[in-house]
Structure 1
Amino acid sequence: MPTQQLDYFTSLVTEDEHFPLTEAAIAVAQHAYPDLDVQGILDHLDELGNKLKLRVTPETSPIQRLQILKHFFYNELGFGPNPNDFYAPENSYLHQVIENRRGVPISLAILMMELGQQIGLKIRGVSFPNHFMMRISLQQGEVIMDPLTGESLSKHELQEMLDPYLDAKGYRGELSLPLNVFLRASSPREILSRFLRNLKMIYSEHERWERLLGIQERMVILLPDSIEEVRDRGLIFAQLEYLRPALADMHRYLSEAPGAEDANDIREHIATLESQTKLH
């Protein structure tokens, strides 16, 4: 396991105050593309930002800047969804998204936020259920945008998108949650954890354990207070038959969360692994 890459990722995500979201999101791909030139990708984004800067003056209003950015991103560069293979991991690796111009809402949003920042626009990410959104404050009010298309969504449209999620979670009637709860801006750490969870889900479903381990190692680094991520890493280690680290993670999980709902399942896992280590 290339510790150098993990050390680099750790250095990026340690502090909340200066959290380089774009750089960290690009660096995630190093587990799958070890020779990836992260700085080269950042330089390319700066070049795109410089092209944009030529189109604005100090007098250009925020709403005009947003229109210029949207035209540049969606019309000229041609960024958008990948309808043929929406769940391909490439749609989440930023260097691939930049190359193919195809992404999922969160990867496109990170690029839009980065380019917006370069022309003085503060676009923020919103961890809306099932569909990542962007939020921007203008004099005319708050705008919620779909990163796949750049379209602004009305409260009615957002509520329609939210209702199936509320139904599935049982948050209806008495427990109904207002739309605004789901429209707050997310922190860079929250955005990156959702970004990683997308990849975690893709690799879990396809049982690509080595790739999944690369993502899970970064989840543990990003969310150091989440003992569940340590448990999940242990389960992946076990799938790969890395028995010692698997046992270490599972024992750590039980020591920190002895009353967890799945504690008995994890104890059974440990017993099985310990009998395997005796056989080796």
Structure 2
Amino acid sequence: MGTNPLSPKENFARAIRCPDEEINLGAAALYAASSEFPDLDVIAYQGRIAQFGTKVKTLLPADYTNFEFVNSMHEVLFGKTGFTGDSKDYFDPRNSHLNEVIDRLKGNPVTLSIFYIEVARVAGEKVRGISLRKHFVVVVGTGEDRIYVDPFHGGGFLSRKECITNILGKDNVKHGDFDDLERKYLKPASNRAILRRQLSNLKVAHEKHKQYELALSASERIQLVDPANLRNLSELAHLQTKVGNFGDAVDSLTLFLERAPDGSNTEQAESALRKLKSLTIRGSEDSSE
């Protein structure tokens, strides 16, 4: 007797149900996309990622340096294949779906970085993501030999000063201790943080296109990745209200108020909850007539 296949949401939940360092970013990102692409073949796309990784590996000398590794990645991904950032239509939702990035050869900084990280993993290198202000890059190597790479801008190099300046602003890094600033501000992002940022980009893109059901789906996945994220819980309730899921919105806002730290300004949430409860009561009365 066969078992029922898992839903896209269940597959995504299973992909992240492990210690953070064990999460396969590529698989998780593809399972997240499968909610909008029901026929998406996750294994096939993982195979395509593996092909890129194998090509990189064949270019590497036996005892390669970080610089040689980055050059090989650049040749395969940006030189021969032409991956690039979509600066013309940045908020196109397709830029936040890994399958679409692989098909279209363009995306946003986070999804291109996920792709870079996964190709590098197949090629034998652990590359980490770095969150900047309104941007995202990757770092190859550790310590003094680390190299910052910008997949959105054709795999170009960034200095640590450029990365820190992006976060703090030009006036705040003129005379800074760059070793100290690098340790403090350029810490690698966790896998869950990367997925959360990718899904947040997707949610914003759908909201800009007034695709509220799809924005809600992205918000639900953010909640799976980061259950303690109060901001997303509030936004989840807003989107549930937007699409008419008033009962779910009541549950989300109730949970938000239960978890809000003491002393928080929750007036707006409390007011919204009262209105939602009256709507659900009115709706149940109308349906019983």
- TM-score computed with the length of structure 1 as normaliser: 0.87
Using the alignment, how far apart are the partners of 1:131 and 1:208 within structure 2? Answer: 24
1:236 corresponds to which letter in structure 2?
Answer: L
Are 1:74 and 2:78 matched, yes or no? yes
Match of 1:21 in 2: 25
1:158 corresponds to which letter in structure 2?
Answer: C
Cα pair distance change 1:165/1:198, threshold 3 Å: farther
- The farther-off stretch of 126-135 and 177-186 is 177-186
Contact 1:21 1:188 in 2 (8 A): yes
SS class of match (1:125):
strand
Q: Which residue, 25, 30, 35 being the options, matches 1:31?
A: 35
Using the alignment, how far apart are the partners of 1:239 and 1:165 within structure 2? Answer: 40
Match of 2:254 in 1: 251
Match of 1:11 in 2: 14
Using the alignment, how far apart are the partners of 2:170 and 2:38 within structure 1? Answer: 37
Using the alignment, how far apart are the partners of 1:157 and 1:67 within structure 2? Answer: 20
RMSD between superposed Cα atoms in Å: 2.7
Contact 1:65 1:119 in 2 (8 A): no
Cα pair distance change 1:138/1:17, threshold 3 Å: closer
Q: Which residue, 182, 185, 196 being the options, matches 2:185?
A: 182
Cα pair distance change 1:27/1:158, threshold 3 Å: same
| Cα shift at 1:77 | 0.7
Cα pair distance change 1:27/1:258, threshold 3 Å: same
Contact 2:66 2:141 in 1 (8 A): no
Using the alignment, how far apart are the partners of 1:217 and 1:232 within structure 2? Answer: 10
| Cα shift at 1:165 | 9.0
Q: Which residue, 124, 128, 132 being the options, matches 1:128?
A: 132
2:159 corresponds to which letter in structure 1?
Answer: S
Using the alignment, how far apart are the partners of 2:64 and 2:34 within structure 1? Answer: 38
Deviations 1:35-80 (A, max 9, x none): 2111111111112222333323534444322211111110101001
User: Gapped runs of 5+ residues in structure 1?
Assistant: none
Deviations 1:107-158 (A, max 9, x none): 1111111111222222111112211011112686221111222121123433
Match of 1:98 in 2: 102
**1 or 2 for the larger relative contact order (CA 8 Å, sep ≥6)?**
1
Match of 1:217 in 2: 220
Listed as ranges, the matches of 1:1-280 within 5 Å are: 4-15=7-18, 16-137=20-141, 141-148=145-152, 149-164=154-169, 178-257=181-260, 259=262, 261-280=264-283
Using the alignment, how far apart are the partners of 2:42 and 2:165 within structure 1? Answer: 39
Contact 1:56 1:119 in 2 (8 A): no
Contact 1:227 1:253 in 2 (8 A): yes
Using the alignment, how far apart are the partners of 2:230 and 2:161 within structure 1? Answer: 38
1:231 corresponds to which letter in structure 2?
Answer: S
2:138 corresponds to which letter in structure 1?
Answer: M
Deviations 1:3-59 (A, max 9, x none): 721111111112224111111112211222222111111111112222333323534
Using the alignment, how far apart are the partners of 2:260 and 2:144 within structure 1? Answer: 48
Contact 2:219 2:236 in 1 (8 A): yes
- TM-score computed with the length of structure 2 as normaliser: 0.85
User: Gapped runs of 5+ residues in structure 2?
Assistant: 284-289
Using the alignment, how far apart are the partners of 1:160 and 1:255 within structure 2? Answer: 38
SS class of match (2:155):
coil
Contact 1:73 1:79 in 2 (8 A): yes
| Cα shift at 1:238 | 0.9
| Cα shift at 1:231 | 2.8
Using the alignment, how far apart are the partners of 2:7 and 2:145 within structure 1? Answer: 45
Cα pair distance change 1:214/1:98, threshold 3 Å: same
Q: Percent of aligned positions with the same letter in both sequences?
A: 24
Using the alignment, how far apart are the partners of 1:108 and 1:100 within structure 2? Answer: 11
